[in-house]
Structure 1
Amino acid sequence: MPIALHYAARTDLGLGSKSRNEDSGYAGPDLLILADGMGGHAAGDVASSTVVGELVDLDGENLGADDALLQLGEAVRRANDRLRDEMDASEDLEGMGTTLIAMLRSGTKLALANIGDSRAFMMRGGTFSQITKDHSFVQALLDEGRITPEEAEHHPQRSLVTRVLTGRDDDIPDLSLREAQIGDRYLLCSDGLSDYVAGATIEDIMRHGGTPAETADRLIAIALRASTRDNVTVVVADVVDQAEPVHNQPQVVGAAAARHTAGDHAVEPAAAPQTPAEKAAALSREANTPAYDQQPPHGSGPAGPQLAEEGPRKPRAAWLRWGALGGVIALALLVAAFVGYRWSQQQFYVGEQGGLVTIYQGVPQDLGPISLHSVDSKTDIAVSDLPSFYRDRVDGTISASDRNQAIGIVEDLRVEMVKCQIGAADGSACTP
């Protein structure tokens, strides 16, 4: 029986410190995309929107099932090459990357491409399941049986990805083909949802959330209620009988919404959801944004116009009040600095010193002339002996909640070093 997709895409900046949305999402009649960008400066949003812009031409191509999978893989390769071109053209973009989930419909088949730790789920016949596999450090620990699924949910390194699109030749996604059935419901989401909202809660909303648009709104709202510190983006799609009237227009959200056209497809940003939770989050952000363009009325002081019953303010009294306020603020800053320093010295991280993997106490920052870190212990592991991925992570430092966890990270690195040395000895692909 011919099928169609009924879909909705939604996004929110989240409640963290990010000033721009680095996620991108697209939902069209035959194509669903979610990309979670990463990198410094504007790189994250550039990466995710670039990839969406390269893939969107696949929507409406009417490809055969096998050809759809081939064309999807080729489109991802082209998008990855485009990332490399963008980085070559601008030093500010060097090191950017993005996760990607893309679903391309062909008849009753869905071609799926996945790389990174964004996730795709399916609800079928009352059963809710994850249909993608994370490319992450924590997933590798799970596969090796070194941690349990419960431990994985709260692991401090759960955001450490092992494969994303970064413009390198070996950035290859997982590709698969599945049969779609009428009644299926699919969810593509960034980790702004999956890292902050329990799987059982996501399942309940997917099961009882209403239309795709209502479900997407509820998922964004619950992520905000869970105080997500990351951008949060969802794409929800129902598989329906093609005979059912579907009035969806293509929707683009997040960083890719700046692209008013993608290829030959005109796409418009979906209207921002207006759930109570999102309104509260927006008001919270506005309340913390200084209104520099608003000046007090002429003749009014910092506290507004003078009330008749106050009488004239005496200059000396005003000076004393401001002096006292300044003293209180200075004391509060000193207390905050002391508390912050004490907290920093309770932290640990793994980094490099003299070419060796080293455990540090503190945080990898300085406060003016004050160093907030010191060497706790050096190991005998040479950073140069680690696989390139783990070398990069040590160079960027790996945080730990306490010294025992830092020691555990070091032991994990030792295992990876040994595995790589064994692989180099027997001629396998693993080389430092």
Structure 2
Amino acid sequence: MPIALRFAARSNLGLGSKTRNEDSAYASPDMLVLADGMGGHAAGDTASATVVAEVMQLDGESWAADEAAQQLRAAVIRANDRLRAEMEAHAETEGMGTTLVAFLLSGNKLAMANIGDSRAYLVRDGVFSQLTKDHSFVQALLDEGRITQDEAEHHPQRSMVTRVLTGREDDEPDISLREARTGDRYLICSDGLSDYVAGSTIEGIVTSQGSPGDIADRLIEIALKASTRDNVTVVVADVVDGNDPISTTPQIVGAAADRQMGRSEDDTQEQPQQPRTPAEKAAALQRETAPTPPPHQGPPVQHAPGEDYVDDGDTQGMPQLAEEKPRRGRWRWFALGAVLLAMLAAAGLLGYNWTQQQYYVGADKGKVAIFKGVPQKLGPISLSSVDSTTDMAVSTLPSYYRSRVNATMTAKSKSDASRIVENVRAELRKCQVDTSGSNCAP
């Protein structure tokens, strides 16, 4: 039985200080795409719109499932290359980046690509589950058992990402392939929702009755009630029988939609015929992603219904404003960049200070040692240092504790780390007296 997606996309500027929407999303019967331009980078709106414009070109094509996954990965790589080309052509966009979650339907399979901390969720048979894993500093701490899920939801550094699309060659997305079943419901969202609304609340809304449009509207509404300080974008899609009547007109929201709609009424009257294929629509959008684009070549793909939940923002008319007052615009960007850099530095300092209040037991030059910090690196920067080293050689420890020390043992405090060391020392003494224990093998 053929299947398709009944979809709805919504985006909102949020209640923070951002003056433009840096999220972009695209939805159609066969494809869902969401990108969150990095708020701490320059030109986040350009980054998200550029990536969506490239990836959405896959819509309307037909591939076998495995090939769909390959094509999706290739499209993400091309999109990343376009970011680099934009930065080389327009110096003011240097440092921009974006997250990405994308689904491409092929038969009864969904190919998925994701990078960053935007999320994808699935509801199947009433069970709500998260499909993506955040590429973030907090997720790394969670994976290592250093913080709990509750602590992760309220961690001050939960927005610190470790992998996004930035135009670098090593920006590689996670690619997967999964079965799609009639009755499934998918949600993809930016962290404007997931960082401000509890997972249980999101689950309650997404698993409730209602059309994708109803659910998307409620998610935007609850994010605003939670005082989200970030742009918030959601795409909700139900898997339905392909023979059921559904809308086939794609929706574009957020920065990508703003760029398509940023033209005068006179321009609208003289527009040529609307592009007919998703690839043509993507090409039209691509012409709008440069900071100073040429005149638009076609009317937009249908904007999402419900203007209360779609930000059309300050990007409209920006090219004309920059043309009339280039000096003011240039200094405005410099000032904004300075503020963002200061915010990043402050956030980085807070995160680093937090890591330096942590302790763990590990191995240092073959000896059991207490470390201050967390056993991770951010680029070339190590987030831990040796606090003290014992006289115990790791190689002489009982097998169980040897493996635990090599893997590192998390401590709640320095005194807790000292207690762990003494426990290890006590077990070592026991084994020196009686080697018959199961943990005493060399």
Question: Could you say whether these structures have the same fold, taking a TM-score greater than 0.5 normalized by the shorter chain as the test?
Answer: yes
Matched letter for residue 305 of structure 2: A
Asked if 1:29 is matched to 2:35, the reply is: no
Distance 1:263 1:62 in 2: 13
- Report how far residue 28 of structure 1 moved: 0.9
Aligned length: 311
- Report how far residue 271 of structure 1 moved: 2.5
- Report how far residue 42 of structure 1 moved: 5.7
Aligned residue in 2 for 1:270: 304
Query: Contact between 2:137 and 2:161, CA under 8 Å: does it hold in 1?
Result: yes
Distance 2:117 2:41 in 1: 22
Query: Contact between 2:24 and 2:252, CA under 8 Å: does it hold in 1?
Result: yes
Matched letter for residue 250 of structure 1: P
Aligned residue in 2 for 1:173: 173
Partner secondary structure for residue 37 of structure 2: strand
Residues 10-51 of structure 1 show CA distances to partners (whole Å, capped at 9, x for unaligned) of: 000000000000000100121100000015686100000000
Aligned residue in 1 for 2:413: none
Distance 2:188 2:255 in 1: 16
Partner secondary structure for residue 120 of structure 2: strand
TM normalised by structure 1 equals 0.67
Aligned residue in 2 for 1:152: 152
Residues 3 and 9 of structure 1: is their aligned pair in 2 closer, same or farther, counting only changes over 3 Å? same
Asked if 1:259 is matched to 2:275, the reply is: no
TM normalised by structure 2 equals 0.65
Partner secondary structure for residue 400 of structure 1: helix
- Report how far residue 269 of structure 1 moved: 1.6
Residues 390-420 of structure 1 show CA distances to partners (whole Å, capped at 9, x for unaligned) of: xxx8x67614399666644994367535699
Aligned residue in 2 for 1:219: 219
Give the 5 Å matches for 1:83-102.
83-102=83-102
Partner secondary structure for residue 138 of structure 1: helix
Aligned residue in 2 for 1:400: 350
The alignment's C-alpha RMSD in Å is: 3.0
Distance 1:197 1:102 in 2: 22
- Report how far residue 140 of structure 1 moved: 0.5
Distance 1:245 1:161 in 2: 40
Aligned residue in 1 for 2:6: 6
Aligned residue in 2 for 1:44: 44
Matched letter for residue 249 of structure 2: Q
Distance 1:167 1:253 in 2: 23
Distance 1:41 1:24 in 2: 16
Distance 2:351 2:116 in 1: 24
Matched letter for residue 259 of structure 1: Q
Distance 1:161 1:401 in 2: 12
Distance 1:223 1:175 in 2: 29
Please list every run of 5 or more consecutive structure 1 residues that lacks an aligned counterpart in the other structure: 286-363, 367-392, 422-432
Residues 244 and 82 of structure 1: is their aligned pair in 2 closer, same or farther, counting only changes over 3 Å? same
Query: Contact between 1:24 and 1:256, CA under 8 Å: does it hold in 2?
Result: yes
Query: Contact between 1:39 and 1:93, CA under 8 Å: does it hold in 2?
Result: no
Give the 5 Å matches for 1:381-400.
398-400=348-350
- Report how far residue 227 of structure 1 moved: 0.4
Distance 1:174 1:152 in 2: 22
- Report how far residue 81 of structure 1 moved: 0.1
Distance 1:146 1:40 in 2: 26
Matched letter for residue 198 of structure 1: A
Aligned residue in 2 for 1:131: 131
Distance 1:70 1:93 in 2: 29
Asked if 1:69 is matched to 2:69, the reply is: yes
Matched letter for residue 412 of structure 1: G
Residues 23-82 of structure 1 show CA distances to partners (whole Å, capped at 9, x for unaligned) of: 001001211000000156861000000000001111110211011001000000000000
Aligned residue in 2 for 1:244: 244
Partner secondary structure for residue 187 of structure 2: strand
Asked if 1:143 is matched to 2:143, the reply is: yes
Residues 110 and 402 of structure 1: is their aligned pair in 2 closer, same or farther, counting only changes over 3 Å? closer
Distance 1:95 1:365 in 2: 15
Query: Contact between 1:68 and 1:104, CA under 8 Å: does it hold in 2?
Result: yes
Residues 81 and 203 of structure 1: is their aligned pair in 2 closer, same or farther, counting only changes over 3 Å? same
Matched letter for residue 102 of structure 1: A
Distance 1:8 1:231 in 2: 17
Distance 1:411 1:91 in 2: 40
Residues 264 and 420 of structure 1: is their aligned pair in 2 closer, same or farther, counting only changes over 3 Å? farther
Query: Contact between 1:54 and 1:263, CA under 8 Å: does it hold in 2?
Result: no
Aligned residue in 2 for 1:412: 373
Query: Contact between 2:111 and 2:175, CA under 8 Å: does it hold in 1?
Result: yes
- Report how far residue 272 of structure 1 moved: 3.2
Partner secondary structure for residue 259 of structure 1: helix
- Report how far residue 99 of structure 1 moved: 0.1
Query: Contact between 1:101 and 1:115, CA under 8 Å: does it hold in 2?
Result: yes
Distance 2:383 2:190 in 1: 31
Query: Contact between 1:41 and 1:92, CA under 8 Å: does it hold in 2?
Result: no
Residues 404 and 63 of structure 1: is their aligned pair in 2 closer, same or farther, counting only changes over 3 Å? closer
Give the 5 Å matches for 1:357-376.
none
Matched letter for residue 115 of structure 2: I
Distance 1:263 1:69 in 2: 18
Determine what percentage of the aligned residue pairs are the same residue: 61
Residues 250 and 146 of structure 1: is their aligned pair in 2 closer, same or farther, counting only changes over 3 Å? same
Distance 1:207 1:249 in 2: 25
Matched letter for residue 269 of structure 1: H
